[in-house]
Amino acid sequence: MTRPVLAVDFGTSNSYFCKCPSDELLPSPVDFIADRTGMDTVVLYRDGRSPLVGSMALNTWGESTEEERRSLKLITRFKPEIDRDRESYRAAVAFLSSVREEAEARHIPFDPLSREVYFGVPCQAVGSYLDALTSAAFEAGYGRVKTLEEPLGALLYHISQRDMAPSEAMERVLVLDFGGGTCDLASLEGLSVRSSWGDWSLGGRLFDDLFFRILCERNPGLEESMDEGTSYFVHWYWSRILKESFSTTMARDRSVLWSGTAGAYGGIRRLGWDEFMERISDYRPTEDMIRSIGGDCPGSDGPENLVDRLENLVLSCDGADSVILAGGSSLWPFVSDLVQRIMPEARLIRSDQPYGVVSRGLALFPALKNKNGQTLSSLRRDLHRFVEEVRIDVIDPVLEETVDRASDDVASLLIGEAVIPALEEFRRTGGKISAFEKMVTSAMEDRRGSVDRKVTEHLRSASEKIPVMVLEKLALWFRKNGVRSMPRHLELGLGEERPDVLSALDMSGISPVAGLSSGMDRVAAVLAGAVVASICGGGGMALIASGLPGLFLGGVIGLGGYALGRERMRKGFRDISIPKMMARAVVSESAVEKAVAKSKKAISDGLQDGVRREWTALEPELMASVEEMVRKEIAALSMLNQLEGGVSRED
- Cα–Cα distance for residue pair 393/399, rounded to 1 Å: 11
What's the pLDDT at 516? 53
Strand blocks (E) in 440-585: 577-578
CA dist 355 and 204 (Å) reads 11
- Residue 537, pLDDT score: 54
CA-wise closest residue to 490 among 471, 473, 509, 476: 471
Is residue 298 within 8 A of residue 206, CB to CB? The reply is yes
pLDDT at 489: 54
User: So where are the chain's domains?
Assistant: 5-144, 204-350, 368-487+520-641
Question: From residue 591, how far is each of 190, 426, 528, 596 by CA, in Å?
Answer: 71, 13, 11, 9
Show the DSSP H helices in 258-332 as ranges. 273-280, 287-293, 306-315
Work out whether strand 173-178 and strand 322-326 pair parallel, antiparallel, or are unpaired: parallel
3-class DSSP state of 351: coil
**Homologous superfamily of 5-144:** ATPase, nucleotide binding domain (3.30.420.40)
What global pTM score does this model have? 0.71
Could you say which residues of the chain have pLDDT below 50? 492-496, 499-515, 538-570, 647, 649-651
Q: How many residues does the chain have?
A: 651
Number of Cα atoms under 13 Å in the Cβ half of residue 451? 30
Residue 54 backbone class (left: φ over 0; alpha: ψ -120 to 50; beta: rest): left
* Alpha-carbon distances of 308 from 77, 312, 457, rounded to whole Å: 24, 6, 53
CA gap 71, 510 in Å, rounded:
86
Give burial (CB, 10 Å; 0-12/13-18/19+) of 365.
Answer: buried
Query: Is 72 in contact with 59 (CB distance < 8 Å)?
Result: no
Q: How far apart are CA 493 and CA 478, in angstroms?
A: 15
